[in-house]
């Protein structure tokens, strides 16, 4: 946008809030180019030197970061393996709880077999019932499939893998099971892994997860267990891909090997002996040269780091390098996270070439391009900091005010950058548009639209709200007596005052339907005691309308008299409509009833009518009068309706006495005690002339001639809205 056209557009904007056009404006492109050439000549040599010297340190940092990341990702994979054992044991127990192991043997076997279909690296699962164990054995070695560290564990077994499962079943007595760790109630709920022991099925060193039918009774009373032998764990981690050609292993806190990649389920290679008391081989005794060399290199570097006070404060995992048969490797030891509950170590070994291959391949490119890229970054940073930082920060602050729907700021923003100044102009035009938009939609709803992420879309939620409907009595007759412009002016004054009061009492005006007002309390922002706010707003609206009627009468204008209906209930509130046009509004039976209550005011001569649910919520603060038991048009079930009289402590004693007599009459009326009801109504009329009293006297006269029946309890069916 040129300077001339921007000035012309600003002249058409009603509110520019002090926007100024700077004397000199430069294109951002030419501003950058003009300084770029000079700074490249001065900085090229220095930046290239710094880039070269920093390359070595950057590579070491990269290796350190990637190695730690791979170690923790591998730890997550290993933890998932144990988590899946716990989950599958619980699922199998739930699936077999109600099965009879004798009469439904095949179904029991299918449930146990499903464990291996989900995780073929497990070697056994067994169900304990009636003092015996039904054992499912899986001796086959799963077909190789590499689990990528960046992907979630794939527990979906293909049909080919299912067909390759070799499952056999046998029964075993539980004669010596009580001595096993999982027989303790501590492990019966399936949430805790047992310590290392000779497993029940094969006697191989391993761990067990059990899920008992009754944790209180213990697993020996019934349940499902899964043994995870060290061979199972080793076979599984051999399927986890660590880099392209790397490997990982697991050791306990004393650096005794628990699992290393292997192609079989052999667990014996990790134990020094075959006795019941398991003694694991230390990492230095394990028959794997790479693992032993990695441990030796780690201990050497650890001794150096222990002299480093900074490292001793954090004891962060560190990488180290070592050499075997002419090939260099990078390694790292890292503990399992505390949340796993496993006091183990992960060891990761990766050939050094996996890291330096890419470094060496890109070295020449980096040397050629790094100087240019760094210089450009410096130039851009310098220019933006001088030419963009201040005006953009100011613009950002103003945008924050827009987000809070604060549209009254007069902050002046000036920038010498053409593009930034264009943004400023667009911002002021946007703010002007939002000010206009705020006149059509309640401010709370606009704030919600601005604050939400993404576009507005169809959505709704159930909430308990209080609904307000008001309408002008005889509006058609009044409108015919006025010119259009006079009617618009008079209606604007009325709607403006009513809307102001509703907003002051924390209500939201939904819409104007001609002369009618629809509002609600409790959305979009929750409002405690919303029924009380709605009741107070209704009383204030009628009081203000009385003042307006006096004013209009003096001015020779027609007067408005409004009827109000309030109802509370659980309704749906949210964005309604179509995908192209939305309206934040409410729907539901409680809304319809509020509309009906507003309309039936005319039959009782009342100004404010409450639904039963609203009356219950406000009865402790406001004086109400029970009017009737009615079934509004469209409903079969009768509801209590009330008149809102005023706030407690502000109602005259004679009105309170009038209400007492009227409600006494209603009670007698419901019991078909026509004489008592008629007498109370006549006494009430002595205190106040009331249309509802006359209505009930007429009904009583009608019911004397045509009684309603023995089952009638006072309800009246409205035949019109």
Tens digits of residue pLDDT in 27-72: 444 455 555 555 666 665 565 555 545 655 666 677 777 778 888 8
Question: How many domains does the structure of the chain reveal?
Answer: 2
Q: Is residue 284 part of a domain?
A: yes
Edge-to-edge strand order for the sheet containing 132-138? 167-173, 132-138, 124-129, 223-229, 205-212, 197-198
CB 25 within 8 A of CB 421: yes
196: Cα separation from own chain's centroid: 41
Q: Is residue 154 part of a domain?
A: yes
CB 429 within 8 A of CB 13: yes
* Joined tokens for residue 273: 């002996």
pLDDT band at 622 (very low <50, low <70, confident <90, very high): very high
CATH number at residue 568: 3.30.70.1230
pLDDT for position 329: 87
Boundary residue ending a domain (622, 651, 680): 651
Secondary structure (DSSP) of 546-608: HHHHHHHHHTT-----EEEEEEEEEEEEEEEE-SS-EEEEEESHHHHHHHHHHHHHHHHT-SE
- The helix (H) or strand (E) run that includes residue 484 is helix 484-504
Q: What is the mean pLDDT of the segment spanning 338-355?
A: 85
CA distances from 191 to 86, 100, 223, 641 (A): 7, 26, 14, 57
* Joined tokens for residue 312: 């001793």
SS3 280: strand
pLDDT for position 405: 58
Q: Average the pLDDT over each of 175-179, 371-375, 495-499, 603-607 and give the range with the smallest value.
A: 371-375
Q: Is residue 143 part of a domain?
A: yes
Kindly compute the dihedral angle of the four CA atoms of residues 539, 542, 547, 548, in this order, to the nearest 10 degrees. 140
Distance CA 676, CA 687 (A): 17
pLDDT band at 525 (very low <50, low <70, confident <90, very high): confident
Boundary residue ending a domain (651, 682, 708): 651
Average pLDDT over the chain, rounded to an integer: 81
CB 142 within 8 A of CB 120: yes
Burial class (CB in 10 A: 0-12, 13-18, 19+), 467: buried
SS3 721: coil
Judge whether residue 452 has pLDDT over 60.
no
Of residues 628 and 634, the one with the higher pLDDT is 628
Q: Average the pLDDT over each of 364-373, 455-464, 513-522, 634-643 and give the range with the smallest value.
A: 364-373
CATH number at residue 242: 3.30.450.20
* Joined tokens for residue 139: 């001796």
Range of the domain at 234: 85-300
Q: Is residue 512 part of a domain?
A: no
Kindly compute the dihedral angle of the four CA atoms of residues 642, 647, 648, 650, in this order, to the nearest 10 degrees. -120
Judge whether residue 531 has pLDDT over 50.
yes
pLDDT for position 283: 87
Q: Is residue 91 part of a domain?
A: yes
pLDDT for position 68: 81
From the list 188, 208, 204, 171, the residue with the least C-alpha distance to 85 is 208
Judge whether residue 402 has pLDDT over 90.
no
CB 59 within 8 A of CB 356: yes
Boundary residue ending a domain (250, 268, 300): 300
pLDDT band at 319 (very low <50, low <70, confident <90, very high): confident
pLDDT band at 660 (very low <50, low <70, confident <90, very high): very high
Q: pLDDT tens, 544-565? A: 999 999 999 898 888 889 999 9
Give 582's contacts (C-beta < 8 A, 6+ positions apart).
456, 457, 458, 575, 576
Q: Is residue 242 part of a domain?
A: yes
Q: Is residue 342 part of a domain?
A: no
pLDDT band at 694 (very low <50, low <70, confident <90, very high): very high
Judge whether residue 253 has pLDDT over 70.
yes
Q: Is residue 171 part of a domain?
A: yes
């Amino acid at each position: 946008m040129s300077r001339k056209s921007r000035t012309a557009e600003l002249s058409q904007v009603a509110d520019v809030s002090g926007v100024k056009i700077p004397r000199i404006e430069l294109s951002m492109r030419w501003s950058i180019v003009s300084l770029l050439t000079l700074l490249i000549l001065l900085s090229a040599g220095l930046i290239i030197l710094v880039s070269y010297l920093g390359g070595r340190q950057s590579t070491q940092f990269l290796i350190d970061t990637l190695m730690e990341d791979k170690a923790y990702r591998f730890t997550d994979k290993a933890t998932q393996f144990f988590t899946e054992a716990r989950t599958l044991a619980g699922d199998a127990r739930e699936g077999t709880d109600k099965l009879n192991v004798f009469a439904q043997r095949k179904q029991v076997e299918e449930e146990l077999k499903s464990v291996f279909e989900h995780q073929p690296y497990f070697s056994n699962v067994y169900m304990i019932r009636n003092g015996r164990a039904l054992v499912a054995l899986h001796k086959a070695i799963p077909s190789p499939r590499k689990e990528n560290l960046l992907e979630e564990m794939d527990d979906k077994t293909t049909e080919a893998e299912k067909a390759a499962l070799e499952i056999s079943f046998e029964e075993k007595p539980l004669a010596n099971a009580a001595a096993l760790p999982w027989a303790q109630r501590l492990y019966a709920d399936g949430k805790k892994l047992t310590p290392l022991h000779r497993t029940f099925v094969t006697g191989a060193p391993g761990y067990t997860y059990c899920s008992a039918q009754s944790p209180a009774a213990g697993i020996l009373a019934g349940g499902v267990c899964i043994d995870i032998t060290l061979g199972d764990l080793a076979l599984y981690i051999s399927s986890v891909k660590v880099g392209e050609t790397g490997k990982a292993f697991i050791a306990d806190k004393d650096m005794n090997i628990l699992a290393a990649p292997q192609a079989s389920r052999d667990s014996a290679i990790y134990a020094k002996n075959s006795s019941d008391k398991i003694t694991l081989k230390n990492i230095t005794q394990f028959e794997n040269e790479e693992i032993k060399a990695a441990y030796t290199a780690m201990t050497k570097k650890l001794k150096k780091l222990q002299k480093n006070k900074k490292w001793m404060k954090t004891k962060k995992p560190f990488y180290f390098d070592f050499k075997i048969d002419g090939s260099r490797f990078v390694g790292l030891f890292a503990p399992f996270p505390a949340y796993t509950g496993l006091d183990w170590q992960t060891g990761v070994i990766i050939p050094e070439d996996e890291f330096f291959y890419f470094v060496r391949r890109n070295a020449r490119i980096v040397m050629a391009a790094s100087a240019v890229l760094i210089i450009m970054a410096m130039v851009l940073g310098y220019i933006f900091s001088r030419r963009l930082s201040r005006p953009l920060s100011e613009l950002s602050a103003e945008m924050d005010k827009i987000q809070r729907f604060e549209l009254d700021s007069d902050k002046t923003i000036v920038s010498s950058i053409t593009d930034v100044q264009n943004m400023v102009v667009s911002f002021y035009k946007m703010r002007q548009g939002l000010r206009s938009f705020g006149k059509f939609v309640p401010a709370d709803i606009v704030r919600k639209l601005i604050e939400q992420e993404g576009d507005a879309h169809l959505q709704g939620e159930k909430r308990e709200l209080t609904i307000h409907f008001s309408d002008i009595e005889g509006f058609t007759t009044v409108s015919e007596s006025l010119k259009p412009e006079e009617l618009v002016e008079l209606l604007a004054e009325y709607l403006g005052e009513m809307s102001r009061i509703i907003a002051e009492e924390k209500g939201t005006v939904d819409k104007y339907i001609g002369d009618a007002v629809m509002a609600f309390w409790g959305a979009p922002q929750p409002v405690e005691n919303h029924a009380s706010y709605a009741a107070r707003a209704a009383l204030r609206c009628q009081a203000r309308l009385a003042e307006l009627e006096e004013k209009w009468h003096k001015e020779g204008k027609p007067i408005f008299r409004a009827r109000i209906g309030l109802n509370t209930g659980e309704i749906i509130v949210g964005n309604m409509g179509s995908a192209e046009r939305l309206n934040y509004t409410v729907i539901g039976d409680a809304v319809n009833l509020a509309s009906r209550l507003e309309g039936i005011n005319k039959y009782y001569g009342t100004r404010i009518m409450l639904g039963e649910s609203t009356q219950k919520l406000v009865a402790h603060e406001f004086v109400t009068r029970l009017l009737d038991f009615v079934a509004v048009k469209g409903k079969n079930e009768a509801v209590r309706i009330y008149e809102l009289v005023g706030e407690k402590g502000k109602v005259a004693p004679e009105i309170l006495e009038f209400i007492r007599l009227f409600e006494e009459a209603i009670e007698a009326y419901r019991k078909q005690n026509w004489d008592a009801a008629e007498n109370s109504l006549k006494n009430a009329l002595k205190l106040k002339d009331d249309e509802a009293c006359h209505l009930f006297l007429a009904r009583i006269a009608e019911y004397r001639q045509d009684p309603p029946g023995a089952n009638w309890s006072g309800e009246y069916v409205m035949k019109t809205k």
